[in-house]
Amino acid sequence: MFETIAIVKAYLTYKQSVGETNCIIEQLYQQCLHYIANISNNYCVAGVDNIKKEVLTCQNKEAIQSLFENTRSIRNYDKSIAVTEDEIKSAISLSRMAPSACNRQPVKVYYTMDPIKNVGISKLIPGNRGFENEIPNFLVVTSAKNFFGLFEYNQWFVNGGIFLGYLRLALQTVNLGSCIFQWSLRSDEKSLRTLCGIPENEAIVAIVGIGHYANESYCIKAQRKSVDEYISKF
Ligand SMILES: Cc1cc2nc3c(=O)[nH]c(=O)nc-3n(C[C@H](O)[C@H](O)[C@H](O)COP(=O)(O)O)c2cc1C
């Protein structure tokens, strides 16, 4: 609602700047303001930014390239260094820049700092056999199905998957290793929902194990297909 009001305000400001007025919308806008009297005028931003080419152009290509080239799924951690909430929030702050359909931002990230509950999550993950005791913390990424219409079936997973990709790189940026875990139909969804307090309207996209890098991480080689195998020119 606040973003809608901000958009209407940006629209009216633009119309004013080109010498036009729209009394009906202006009146509706004033009525809406009445309902949000306690919210600051700048709570939401809307309108258009004109961004210079030099801002959009990558300034540190080597660092970004290294981020992409050295990102790996990490399955062993230095558990003597505790993950902090600040680190988790910093990574989520960067990941918020992930694009989403109509900027709907359907994603939510559930986490706990309670080691026993983290063990509880680990026990529910189907794909961590053999290293189920190695990962100290987990992030459960969900996506709200009710943010999408009938003809947008499964789009919650598309939006959630894009967020996941951003999250993995963001975690590496704040020096946390991570491994994404599939949440499948075979998983004990009821137990995970109860443990984390996830409502039914949110689809579980994946669970991400996180922690501080050990001095050495054992990573599977995970050969990538060549660019030629990825493409199909037509
Ligand atoms: C959606 C998704 C589900 C995954 N599920 C698991 C899993 O259950 N167990 C696991 O050990 N790794 C899992 N992975 C990690 C992949 O095995 C890994 O990304 C892939 O082998 C490439 O290796 P890399 O990430 O080290 O480059 C998953 C990754 C994604 C994106």
Task: Please tell me the distance from the alpha carbon of residue 56 to that of residue 137, in angstroms, as a whole number.
Answer: 34
Q: Are residues 175 and 112 in the same domain?
A: yes
The answer to whether residues 178 and 80 belong to one domain is yes
pLDDT at 190: 97
Q: Sheet containing 176-182: which strands, arranged edge to edge?
A: 107-111, 137-144, 202-212, 176-182
Q: In the chain, which ranges are continuous DSSP H helix?
A: 2-17, 23-35, 53-56, 61-69, 85-95, 115-124, 155-173, 189-196, 227-230
Query: What is the pLDDT, as a whole number, of residue 6?
Result: 86
Instruction: Based on the fold, state whether residues 202 and 122 are members of the same structural domain.
Output: yes
Query: Are 206 and 96 in the same domain?
Result: yes
For residue 165, what is the domain's CATH number?
Answer: 3.40.109.10
- Name the stretches of the chain with pLDDT < 50: none
> Range of 192's domain?
54-212
Same domain, 20 and 131: no
Specify the pLDDT at position 5. 84
Nearest CA to ligand 1 atom 23: 222
Q: What is residue 34's predicted lDDT score, i.e. its pLDDT?
A: 79
Residue 182 CA, ligand 1 centroid: distance in Å = 8
Q: What residue ranges line ligand 1, CB within 6 angstroms?
A: 72-73, 127, 179-182, 206, 219-220, 222
Give me the pLDDT at residue 39, please.
61
Work out how many domains the chain is built from and give that number. 2
Which pLDDT does position 42 carry in this prediction? 63
